Structure 1
């Protein structure tokens, strides 16, 4: 009996000492950690499922012959990888709520996270470029929609972010490390910050300005053609191009709304004095990463029909292009 009492006393002493040694804000907030873990798991499931269904729907339907849908498929695949890899890892970190995370793990996790975020941003810029060319410079759009040019565009979208994320991953230029206050792998403030500045500028600010420019030009073109729009009808190529541009603009706005608060908090609070703000802005961005399939469903008839056929098991095993052999003349959505 005395031995059991002694063992219980030792265990209680260990727990007390552990709680005393923990200096983070979340140490005595176990319910908050459980809630964050549950939210991340739900977002992981929804994001993986929605983006995976979008990719498979495009592959097994005639949408795969549309330039825009190919870019959307690349965007959704990046979203699927982000949700399946980053959110699942984050759920494990919230579950363990440990301050002892290996440097190698954080370097890899940080590299993957910011590479996929950059890929999403660059793909949104590529989509804006193609929408701009489709509405304003149709001949250039047809040239850029040929298979060779489209493949080059996709390769650039996936490889360009790695130029900025590989150096900090291997601690060559900048670094990633675990920040206990926000339970996340992020930029190491003790390392060279020039990589962080360049990454934020080239990976967020410049693409955002470029995307805004493209959609402003599309809006100006639509405004100038407003009087003729009444004579076009709802099924003309011009009307379809503008509706599709509106859908992709909505996707960019959602991404921007989700990412901008996170960007502002990280710029204004580099010392992580307000960790709760870092956490909720990050989760807000994760939530909006899951919204793209909903936008496709609500704003585009072809996507709705393709989703319905796929979910009912009525896939097009041998989808046929509806006109021409060039990607630029393929089925339009």
Structure 2
């Protein structure tokens, strides 16, 4: 046999042996009961998250909340959360159930594209909510202009379409790619593909929106501090007081989202080779858990949502909800 063939055969053999060795060292092979537990947890989160976000959307649609700018944006965000829970979580439960080293590439390309698109949609909706909260408190005239039906609709379309610019190319393997990582049993960024897509997606899809949201709520806090002396004359029905309370609720929603996604994004940037698979799994699970908490926050922090939830669940929905003066799209300042 020629020397070249012998060398080639040796390389292929070594590569195959390395691959088999890596596959044999997967942490979960000797702890399959952990995967069963993870599968059950994902199914529970899928049920809770999908039902909670769906009820939020329907409660908004079948009440006067549908005439409120902030509630429309919350409905858009909850729709993305609902789609994430009914599409991504069942896929992940299926992967945990199979306990496999390999997954069809087409499956991962689709799953990765859908997953990161919906995360981007949620992030941009949170950014839009922060912008409208900031304008509502600091620049009320601009807020009224931005609350017109056409501009609001354009904002929502923007939030849903922009992430596709970054997720369609890797889904088609044109710029970056998604692949199955057996160590974490998930479809994620392919470390052997063009990494610039990953860097730009994390930067423009997470870091920049986070900085923008922090800026908006910081300005809201400054405005509230400057008006502190006048706050004693405000009552609970004052539009300014309501606007600040609503901004506080949405800040809490953002904090929950940030708490759930920041460790995941940091780990994906710092541990590109998945040397710490357990950390990848718990950070991902924490994000899924926090996705289900938004309806709980709405219930605890806002009486209007509590009423809308209650009326929807008991079947006392408003067939023709009244468009209250304070909730008109063009001038509403609060719930």
**2:136–2:243: 8 Å Cα contact kept in structure 1?**
yes
| Offset, 1:74 | 0.4
Q: Note the alpha carbon deviations across 1:194-231, whole angstroms, 9 max, x for none.
A: 00000000000000000000000000000000000000
| Offset, 1:326 | 4.8
**1:60–1:315: 8 Å Cα contact kept in structure 2?**
yes
Secondary structure of the structure 1 residue equivalent to 2:179? strand
* Counterparts in 2 of 1:170 and 1:315: CA distance versus 1, 3 Å: same
**2:49–2:291: 8 Å Cα contact kept in structure 1?**
yes
Output the TM-score relative to the length of structure 1: 0.92
Equivalences for residues 279-318 of structure 1 within 5 A: 279-318=281-320
2-structure distance, mates of 1:21, 1:82: 30
What is aligned with 1:3? none
Structure 1: which 5+ residue stretches go unaligned? 1-17
| Offset, 1:328 | 2.6
What is aligned with 1:158? 160
**Aligned pair partner of 1:120 in 111, 122, 127:** 122
1-structure distance, mates of 2:327, 2:281: 48
Output the TM-score relative to the length of structure 2: 0.92
* Counterparts in 2 of 1:304 and 1:23: CA distance versus 1, 3 Å: same
| Offset, 1:263 | 1.3
| Offset, 1:20 | 11
* Counterparts in 2 of 1:215 and 1:288: CA distance versus 1, 3 Å: same
2-structure distance, mates of 1:325, 1:98: 52
**2:62–2:319: 8 Å Cα contact kept in structure 1?**
yes
Aligned residues: 316
Structure 2: which 5+ residue stretches go unaligned? 1-19
What is aligned with 2:48? 46
* Counterparts in 2 of 1:28 and 1:247: CA distance versus 1, 3 Å: same
Does residue 332 in structure 1 map to residue 298 in structure 2? no
| Offset, 1:23 | 3.6
2-structure distance, mates of 1:241, 1:332: 5
**Aligned pair partner of 2:242 in 215, 240, 243:** 240
What is aligned with 2:27? 25
Task: Provide runs of 4+ in structure 1 moved above 3 Å.
Answer: 18-23
Q: Note the alpha carbon deviations across 1:58-116, whole angstroms, 9 max, x for none.
A: 00000000000000000000000000000000000000011121111100000000000
Secondary structure of the structure 1 residue equivalent to 2:290? helix
| Offset, 1:317 | 0.5
What is aligned with 1:320? 322
What RMSD over aligned residues (CA atoms) do the two structures have, in Å? 1.6
Does residue 211 in structure 1 map to residue 213 in structure 2? yes
**2:253–2:294: 8 Å Cα contact kept in structure 1?**
yes
| Offset, 1:332 | 3.2
